């Protein structure tokens, strides 16, 4: 994304790839760590994801997975 441009949810993959590049790790590792952090920070999210999540909100995959895919 360019400075001043409208940010959209699909840009999360751009951010993931940039973090991976800076840290020198695979994008999948960034996904794993950020998902684990989100679940630790928001304990109810883990219960929600384990229950299948809310239909439509994350495609039934759980919020952390939806955000990072």
> Is it the case that residue 1 has pLDDT exceeding 90?
no
Q: Which long-range contacts (CB under 8 A, 24 or more apart) does 1-10 make?
A: 9/67
1 vs 45, residue with greater confidence:
45
25, 10 contact by CB (below 8 A): no
**Residue partners of 29: CB distance under 8 A and separation at least 6:** 20
> Is it the case that residue 65 has pLDDT exceeding 70?
no
The pLDDT of residue 67:
52
Query: pLDDT digits over 5-57, tens only?
Result: 888 998 999 999 999 999 999 999 999 999 999 989 998 888 887 888 765 45
Quote the tokens at residue 68. Answer: 């990072």
The pLDDT of residue 56:
46
19, 13 contact by CB (below 8 A): no
């Amino acid at each position: 994304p360019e400075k001043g441009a409208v940010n959209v949810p699909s840009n999360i993959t751009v951010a993931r790839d940039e973090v991976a590049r800076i840290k020198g790790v695979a994008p999948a590792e960034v996904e794993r760590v950020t998902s684990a952090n989100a679940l630790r920070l928001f304990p109810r999210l883990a219960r929600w994801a384990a229950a299948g999540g809310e239909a439509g909100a994350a495609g039934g995959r759980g919020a952390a997975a939806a955000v990072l895919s």
